Amino acid sequence: MCAAARLEEMEARRVGVVVAVCALTCLSPLTSLAQAYPNKPVRFVIPFPAGGFSDITGRVVAQKLADAVGQPVVSDNRPGASGNIGAEIVARAAPDGYTLLINSINYVINPSVVKAPFDPVKDFAGVSLIASGPPLVMTVNGSSPWKSVKDVIAAAKSQPGKLNFANSGPGSSPHLSIEVLQSMTGIKVAQIPFKGATLAISSLINGDIAVVFPNLPVILPHLKSGRVRGLAVTSAKRSAALPELPTMAESGLPGFDVSGFLGLLAPARTPPAILRRLSGEISAMAKQQDFIDRFAAFGMEPVGSTPEQCDRFTREQIARWAKVLKDAGYAPR
């Protein structure tokens, strides 16, 4: 090999070494950041009261994450404004991975019913979807003559605007279920407001209300007692907790899907390395049998996702419910 060729080869090798070193140097801060995080307690902001659905499930996730990362994960209940008070706390928090938001279906519905002092997309970074569900259950009194969703639809068509359905407030899951049902069938029902599922179920048992759409975990004890009758679940597929119940789609309403979820969000500009560390831990716990069993008891199925998938899901859900509520005549107030 001539001298010139040797020089060219040596120069090529030198450039290759420099490029490799630069690449490692650029990656090392992110790698170090992910390895060092967390080195102090992490706060889960739960934007609903203690003892509620988001609180109970969020605390399960907090404990599992604490075990995985070796640091305390503290649950901090900040209820109010349909979850917006807690969400604003996280939106304004330092983007360092130490203040995170447990979010649920209210988070993607709220932009369509109430104005908030933050942007639900721009002010947050997705961490991971945690679990899907629980579904709602179309429920009637145990002595009702209605044995199927088709029976209820037929009854509503025979008395337009008079059949009483329980509504837990604008943007609630029961409200969305009613609006989707009306949109898909052309029926009109009387929506009776209730402050919570417990009161609505009591009215159903007493015969004062015709149909209720409670969350599966809330209605399950009453279904087992026989005092009420479940007709269908509102999720896209049957629930493992009530496998005998068909879905609304199987009951003649293809595409009907109103189901909750649990997710984890961080403030915008949180370093990607931290987001990926957290999403990796969530995805790992979603495969653990004890975690699967705990969430099955809530009528939920663990998911786990990448931050990008979480962001995409949030945007899609906000757009979906915005259309449903706009068509129903609702606007943010």
127 has pLDDT over 80: yes
Q: What's the average model confidence in pLDDT over 118-138?
A: 96
CATH of domain 137-233: 3.40.190.10
pLDDT band at 90 (very low <50, low <70, confident <90, very high): very high
pLDDT for 50 equals 85
The residue that leads in pLDDT, 330 or 294, is 294
* Average pLDDT along the chain: 89
Q: What tokens does 158 get?
A: 């025979």
Q: How many alpha carbons fall within 13 Å on the CB side of residue 1?
A: 8
CATH of domain 40-134+259-327: 3.40.190.150
Residues carrying CATH 3.40.190.150, the chain: 40-134+259-327
Share of residues in the chain with pLDDT > 90 (%)? 70
Q: What whole-number distance in Å separates Cα of residue 185 and Cα of residue 4? A: 81
What's the angle, vertex CA 234, arms to CA 229 and CA 239, rounded to 5?
80
C-beta of residue 176 within 8 angstroms of C-beta of residue 321: yes
pLDDT digits (tens, 9 = 90+) for 255-297: 999 998 999 999 999 999 999 999 999 999 999 999 999 999 8
pLDDT band at 5 (very low <50, low <70, confident <90, very high): very low
pLDDT band at 28 (very low <50, low <70, confident <90, very high): very low
pLDDT for 14 equals 54
pLDDT band at 197 (very low <50, low <70, confident <90, very high): confident
Cβ neighbours, 10 Å, residue 249? 18
125 has pLDDT over 70: yes
pLDDT for 29 equals 52
pLDDT for 285 equals 97
Could you tell me which of 330, 266, 261 has the C-alpha nearest to residue 295?
261
Residues carrying CATH 3.40.190.10, the chain: 137-233
pLDDT for 166 equals 95
**Length of the chain in residues, anyone?**
333
Phi, psi of 170 (to 5 degrees): -55, 130
pLDDT for 10 equals 47
pLDDT for 13 equals 57
pLDDT for 41 equals 97
Rg (CA), the chain: 25
pLDDT for 170 equals 77
Q: Is the pTM of this model over 0.75?
A: yes
Q: What's the average model confidence in pLDDT over 113-129?
A: 95
Q: What whole-number distance in Å separates Cα of residue 54 and Cα of residue 229? A: 26
pLDDT for 159 equals 94
Could you tell me which of 259, 240, 244 has the C-alpha nearest to residue 297?
240
Cβ neighbours, 10 Å, residue 125? 22
Q: What whole-number distance in Å separates Cα of residue 193 and Cα of residue 209? A: 11
